[in-house]
Amino acid sequence: MIFGTEIPQGKWCIAKLSEITDVNPRLDKSAISDDLEVSFVPMPAVEAESGIINVSSTRKFSEVKKGYTPFREGDVLFAKITPCMENGKMSVVPEVRNGIGFGSTEFHVLRSPQGVDAKYVYYYVSSKPFRHVAEHNMTGAVGQRRVPTAYLSDCDIPLPPSNEQHRIVAKIEELFSELDKGIENLKAAREQLKVYRQALLIHAFEGKLTAQWRKQNRDQLETAAALRARIQTVREQRYQQQLQQWQTTGGSKPKAPKAMLPLTTEELAELPELPEGWAWVKLGDLTWSVKDGPHFSPKYVEQGIPFISGGNVRPDGVNFENAKFISQELHEELCKRCKPEVGDVLYTKGGTTGIARVNTYDLDFNVWVHVAVLKLTSAVKPFYLQHALNSSFCYSQSQKYTHGVGNQDLGLTRMVNIVLAICSIEEQEEVIKVIDDKISVIDKLELTITTSLQQAEAMRQSILKRAFSGQLVPQDPHDEPASVLLARIRTEREQAVKPKQRRKGV
C-alpha cells in the first residue's frame, strides 16, 4: 500500500490502475475533420500541485493529430517525465473544445469508466507518497527519466464503493478548500512582511527610524558639510597610507582619490529631503577599493578554497552549500587581483544584481566575476552599507545601471555612482541597531509562517492518507461493494471487445 495503511474490510478492495481506468486510451481519428478546433494543453498549462489546468488554447486537428497525446473531458492527465511528475503536474481535464483535447507527449492519460470517480483517481495518483514511489520506478537517461506505462498500469489503488468515492472526493475538496484559505492568508502575511521589510529600510535611510535618537543627541551631531569633509579626509588618509606602503614595498603605485563632488541641483531635486546632519553621497565616496574576481571560469577541484559566485550571496548571508572549489595555488594567484577580507561588502553585479552582504567569514575564499568586493573607508559601517544597498532605493539604481543582453552586468564604474544617504558614525550604529531589532522580529514571524505552511502541507497529506484508508468519511452498509463494481467493469470490457470472425472454409 502506498499510504502504508490497511483498507476497510468488506466494502473496499484493491485493484490495479489498469483495472479501473483505461491507461493511454486510443482515439479513432478517421472521422475527425482536419479543420476541427480542439483544445491544446502543453506541459506549462498544468500547474504543479494545484490540479489547475488551462485548456483555453486551441489548434486545428490537422496540427495535433500526429505527435501529441489525445484526451477528453474527465480524463486524468499524469505528467510522466522528470521533474514534472515529481512536481505534481496532474489534473482532471475540464470541458474541452469540441469534446477533444491534445497535449504534450509527456502526459499519461487515465480514463475512468462509469462507477469510478476521476477525481478520486486524481487525488490518489497526485499524492506525494504515490509520486515518491513512482519516482523510484522511473526509467531512462538522467534528465529524461519517465514513469513507464507498464509500471503505472500495474500500480495498486484502494477502491471504495462508487458512492463512497463521491463522498470522499467531496470531503477532500471541502477540507482542502478550508486549508487553501488558511494557506492564502499565510502567503498574504508573508508578502506583507516583505513590504514591511522594504518600508523599514526606506524609513531608516530617510532618517525616520532614528528621529527620536537624533533629537536626544542633537548637540553631538555634525553637520552635513562637516560629514562630507570628514569622508574626504578619511579617503585622503587612506591614500597616504597606501602611498607609504608602496614606497616601502613597491608594486603598483596607488591612485589618488578623486575629490568628492557634490550632487548637482538636478540630482538633488529627484531625491527625498534628509534630516539635519545627513547627506547624499555616491557609493564610490565611501570606498577605497571596488574590485571583482577573475573574468573567466576557473578550473574547479573537488576540495579546496570555496569559490563564491553571485548566486551564493544573499542578504542574510553567504550560502556555502553549493559552492564550488579551486586549488590553493589558483586561490593565491586570484588574490593578487581581489581578496575578500572580513568587513568587506560583497555586492552582486550579475544575475541576481544588487544584493549586498558583509563578509563576516574569517576564512580564505575568493569570488567570481559577478561579485564585487567593496573595501570601505572608516566613514561608513559595513552593516549600515549592507542595509542601505539592500533597500529598494539603491536596488532600483543597481537595476538602472545594469547593462547587457543575456549576461547582464552591473559594471564597477557604474556601480560607484549609486547614491545613498549617509549620517554620522554614531547614528549609523543606532540605525543598524534599530533595523536589526525590527528585522529580528520580522524573521521570527517569517519562520512562524514557513512552519505553518509546512504544517498545512503535512495536513493535506494527512487528509489524503485518511481518505485512502477509509477513515475520512463513514461507510454506508447499503453501498454496493467495490468488488461488485470491479467485476462489472471487467464484464463490460470483455463485452466491448469484438469477437474475432472465423475464417470461411475454402
SS3 of residue 78 by DSSP: strand
Query: According to CATH, where is 3.90.220.20 located in the chain?
Result: 13-161, 261-423
Q: What is the pLDDT of residue 499?
A: 58
Q: What is the pLDDT of residue 506?
A: 38
Owner of C-alpha cell 467495490: 482
* Per-residue burial over 148-165, b = 16 or more CB atoms within 10 Å of its CB, e = otherwise: eeebbbebebbbbbbbbb
Q: How far apart are alpha carbons 161 and 138 in whole angstroms?
A: 31
Q: What is the pLDDT of residue 158?
A: 95
Q: Which amino acid is present at 117? A: D
Please enumerate, as own/partner, the contacts of 313-319 that have beta carbons within 8 Å and a separation of 24 or more. Answer: 313/346, 313/347, 313/348, 313/352, 313/355, 313/357, 313/371, 314/355, 314/357, 315/355, 315/356, 315/357, 315/386, 315/390, 316/357, 317/357, 317/360, 318/346, 318/357, 318/359, 318/361
Q: Which CATH architecture has domain 13-161?
A: Alpha-Beta Complex (3.90)
Q: How far apart are alpha carbons 126 and 183 in whole angstroms?
A: 19
| Tens of pLDDT, residue by residue, the chain (506 residues) | 566 667 777 799 999 999 999 999 999 998 899 999 999 999 999 999 999 999 999 999 999 999 999 999 999 999 999 999 999 999 999 999 999 999 999 999 999 999 999 999 999 999 999 999 999 999 998 889 999 999 999 999 999 999 999 999 999 999 999 999 999 999 999 999 999 999 999 999 999 999 999 999 988 888 878 888 888 888 888 888 888 888 888 888 888 877 777 888 888 888 999 998 899 999 999 998 898 888 788 889 988 888 888 888 888 888 888 888 999 888 888 887 888 889 999 999 876 788 999 988 877 777 777 789 999 988 899 999 999 999 999 999 999 988 876 677 888 989 999 999 999 999 999 999 999 999 999 999 999 999 999 999 999 999 999 999 999 999 999 999 999 999 999 999 998 876 555 555 43
pLDDT single digits (tens) 343-386? 999 999 876 788 999 988 877 777 777 789 999 988 899 999 99
DSSP result, 268-294: HHTS----TT-EEEEGGGGEEEEEE--
User: Which of 157, 122, 116 has the alpha carbon at shortest distance from 13?
Assistant: 157
Q: What is the pLDDT of residue 261?
A: 78
CATH code reported for the domain at 261-423? 3.90.220.20
Q: What is the pLDDT of residue 406?
A: 63
